[in-house]
């Protein structure tokens, strides 16, 4: 029941192909979070990805760190765009996580042009993250985003600064969008050439909600193991990307189970059958 590990870009850390997407802890009790930790340890997951904006997530992770800090590559994110705001939020994250430093800090959802300009200019959030790295509060700096436009934003970001990681959506349905697929492949090629880690999200997205939410994610997820298997195996079929797990603790066991059994990428015909069976739709257009 172990999950394969590969280098997390040029960091030198061997991370499990599935990174724990700790948004799943945003609204759960500490007892539920602790049961999730047990599951992560069972599957050998050794990389946690959280964010300042993920509800109570950092607070739920904090109690684990006294015993388990050395077992995890620990990443968080700041959604602030100015130097001062990013500094304040990052130090709050350190306090909530109960650590002196993290391995990776990421500019969270940096997509729109106006926010991008603020974050990247002098006095922006990136300036502070570089300072935090120089002070030993963090080792690496990344950038994340959603939407179809994220590939354009990431390419601009990588043109300005040599980020250590990027994060963006990746699933079979989204890659049927030729514009997004071209952008994703451009980001992936650039990342490969520089040794930048590529993290992916939204692996088990079924479609936007057509009614009331049923899970702790803002899209309707796939819920049956066979469909989750194919969605997860399709992402892992891209050999040098990471899959950030689902933001719902009730679906996490199914994603980890699928990842532990990965052998091959499903064919297009198999994936098209899943789309038909589950009436899947693009989350971003």
Here the CATH number for the domain that contains residue 28 is 3.20.20.100
170-191 per-position pLDDT tens digit: 999 999 999 999 999 999 999 9
3-state secondary structure of 283: coil
Kindly report the pTM of this predicted structure: 0.97
**285 within domain boundaries:** no
DSSP strands (E only) in 98-246: 102-107, 138-144, 165-169, 197-201, 205-207, 220-221, 242-244
- The answer to whether residue 80 is domain-embedded is yes
Token couple for 192 = 């490969």
pLDDT confidence of residue 1: 75
Whether 198 is covered by a domain: the verdict is yes
Tally of domains within the chain: 1
Question: Which tens digit of pLDDT belongs to each residue from 136-152?
Answer: 999 999 999 999 999 99
Q: Is residue 284 part of a domain?
A: no
Tell whether the model's pLDDT for residue 2 goes beyond 90. Answer: no
Domain of residue 128: give its range.
Answer: 5-278
pLDDT at 25: 98
Phi and psi at 104, nearest 5°, equal -140, 130
């Amino acid at each position: 029941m172990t999950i394969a590990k590969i280098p997390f870009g040029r960091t030198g850390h061997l991370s499990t192909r599935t990174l724990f997407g700790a948004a799943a802890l945003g609204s759960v009790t500490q007892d539920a979070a602790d049961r999730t930790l047990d599951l992560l340890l069972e599957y050998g997951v050794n990389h946690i990805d959280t964010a300042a904006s993920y509800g109570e997530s950092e607070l739920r992770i904090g109690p684990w760190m006294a015993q388990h800090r050395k077992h995890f590559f620990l990443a968080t994110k700041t959604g602030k765009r100015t130097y001062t705001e990013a500094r304040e939020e990052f130090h709050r994250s350190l306090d909530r996580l109960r650590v002196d430093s993290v391995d990776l800090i990421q500019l969270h959802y940096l997509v729109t042009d106006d926010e991008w300009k603020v974050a990247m200019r002098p006095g922006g959030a990136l300036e502070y993250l570089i300072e935090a790295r120089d002070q030993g509060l963090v080792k690496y700096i990344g950038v994340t985003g959603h939407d179809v436009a994220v590939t354009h934003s990431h390419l601009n970001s990588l043109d300005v600064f040599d980020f250590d990681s990027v994060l963006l959506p990746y699933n079979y349905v989204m890659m049927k969008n030729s514009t997004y697929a071209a952008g994703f492949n451009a980001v992936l090629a650039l990342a490969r050439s520089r040794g930048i880690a590529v993290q992916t999200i939204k692996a088990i997205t079924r479609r936007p909600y057509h009614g009331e939410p049923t899970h702790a994610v803002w899209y309707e997820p796939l819920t049956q193991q066979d469909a989750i298997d194919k969605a997860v195996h399709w992402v892992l079929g891209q050999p040098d990307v990471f899959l950030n797990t689902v933001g719902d603790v009730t679906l996490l066991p199914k994603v980890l189970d699928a990842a532990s059994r990965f052998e091959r990428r499903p064919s297009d015909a198999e994936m098209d059958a899943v789309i038909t069976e589950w009436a899947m739709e693009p989350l971003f257009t």
